[in-house]
Amino acid sequence: MKSQTKPGRTTTLFLVFILACALMLDACSKEQAQTAPPTPEVGTITVREQEVVLTAELPGRTSPYLIAEVRPQVSGIIQQRLFEEGSEVNKGAVLYQIDPAPFEAAYNSAVASLARAQASLPALRSRADRYHDLLASKAVSQQDFDDVDSAFRQADAEVTYWKAAVQTAGINLGYTKVKAPISGRIGRSNITVGALVTANQPVAMATIQQLDPIYVDIPQSTAELLRMKRRIESGSLERKGASQRKVRLNLEDGTAYPLEGTLQFQDVTVDRMTGSVILRAVFPNPEGVLLPGMFVRGVAQEGVNKKAILIPQHAVSRDPKGNPLALLVGTDGNVVQKQLSIDRSVGNQWLVTSGLVPGDKVIVEGLQKVRPGAAAKAVATDEADTQNPAAETLDKPAAPAK
């Protein structure tokens, strides 16, 4: 009997073992199913076209609105300096006094000579008139009349000469007061009291500069001008009329100059050394903040791009060749990598010219969680509201990208 029941127990134990293994395998498979990673969520923005005012920020330097070098027009010894260095002077203000004594003497001499010439003129005029009447009756000869008439004309010419001499002497006497030719701020004096100056000397006595308003000269490359012209011709960039002439200014320390300037003109000659042309703007400078030769950055409007596509800069990566790339969530829920063409930075965003179309979902958060071809769940972020940049300033054109 014992030998007959033993095989039955063995079979039962084997079946129990098989059942336990099956239960263990089922539990393992359920555990694996429960621990499978879910589809990663990524923050995205939806690409859309918007109107953006494009501006160019370019380096420039200030230069005075008017500048005049003060030089003497007569020679003499400086008796007085009548201005304070670095102060504001008005047009016509006396800056230097040259010793007037020799010029006063020359003036008085010319006045005396004029008076002498004028004193003899009436007698010669009367004599010439009498000889003219006597000539008709043959009482005097033609030669006598010609001699008297010639003497009168010489005396009249001498009066005219001395009048001119008096005027010249008066002008030279006036030049002993060296006056400011323009209003503005005067610099240091190159001449001291007691120094001898000569007429039209090469060394200026002082320099006056008008600083309110003031010019800002901004060089712009011809390559950028040609690119802007092509954008305007293609319709991707539009002008805004009078507002195109407005220019803003950033100072050397990065602060914005509070007053707005106006673009005066664009030079027509290209600098052979730099390959650029000069844009000249004029700025009000009532407080004297801007000084000649100061380095500044001018912000000028280029135009309006009514179909601009902007994406945050941190959403763009680069391949080993430096080409800009962006990751998108496709319509099938998989991640797609797109190569972009970037024109420039606008604030903290890139202006994209190709590679994206309206409606694309660009990944801006969770880029480290996904790779091209992997599944991802797109979640809209608040960053979509920041696509319209508050700042219109164009920092710099981006590196050319294909």
Distance, CA of 87 to CA of 85 (rounded, Å): 6
Task: Dump pLDDT digits (tens) for 354-367.
Answer: 889 898 999 999 88
Task: Dump pLDDT digits (tens) for 123-143.
Answer: 878 877 777 777 777 777 787
Alpha-carbon dihedral angle through residues 264, 269, 272, 276, given to the nearest 10 degrees: 40
Q: What is the pLDDT of residue 244?
A: 65
Distance, CA of 323 to CA of 354 (rounded, Å): 13
**Who has greater pLDDT, 52 or 194?**
194
Q: What values do phi and psi take at 32, rounded to 5?
A: -65, -40
> Is the pTM of the predicted complex or chain greater than 0.85?
no
289 and 185 in one domain?
Answer: no
Residue 10 counted as domain residue: no
Q: What is the pLDDT of residue 347?
A: 81
Distance, CA of 305 to CA of 54 (rounded, Å): 7
**Who has greater pLDDT, 181 or 25?**
181
Give the H or E element holding residue 196: strand 196-197
Question: Cβ distance 333 to 376 under 8 Å?
Answer: yes
Averaged pLDDT for residues 288-297:
92
Q: What residue numbers bound the domain in which 344 lies? A: 46-62+212-397
186 and 225 in one domain?
Answer: no
360 and 267 in one domain?
Answer: yes
Residue 92 counted as domain residue: yes
Distance, CA of 310 to CA of 344 (rounded, Å): 10
> Which band of pLDDT confidence, cut at 50, 70 and 90, is reported for residue 391?
very low
Q: What values do phi and psi take at 348, rounded to 5?
A: -105, 25
Distance, CA of 27 to CA of 35 (rounded, Å): 12
Sign for the CA dihedral angle at 393, 396, 397, 398 comes to: negative
Residue 108, both tokens? 């008085």
The answer, yes or no, to whether residue 35 has pLDDT greater than 80, is no
Close Cβ partners of 251 (under 8 Å, ≥ 6 residues apart): 257, 289, 294, 296
- DSSP-derived 3-state class of residue 13: helix
Total domain count, the chain: 3
Task: Dump pLDDT digits (tens) for 298-329.
Answer: 888 777 788 888 999 998 999 899 899 999 99
Residue 41 counted as domain residue: no
Task: Dump pLDDT digits (tens) for 332-346.
Answer: 889 999 999 888 888
274 and 144 in one domain?
Answer: no
Q: What is the pLDDT of residue 174?
A: 94
- Mean pLDDT of the residues in the chain: 83
- DSSP-derived 3-state class of residue 202: coil
Distance, CA of 85 to CA of 190 (rounded, Å): 10
307 and 190 in one domain?
Answer: no
> Which band of pLDDT confidence, cut at 50, 70 and 90, is reported for residue 23?
low
**Who has greater pLDDT, 339 or 1?**
339
Task: Dump pLDDT digits (tens) for 212-226.
Answer: 999 999 888 888 778
> Which band of pLDDT confidence, cut at 50, 70 and 90, is reported for residue 401?
very low
Residue 6 counted as domain residue: no
User: Exposed, middle or buried: residue 364 (CB in 10 Å: 0-12, 13-18, 19+)?
Assistant: buried
338 and 289 in one domain?
Answer: yes
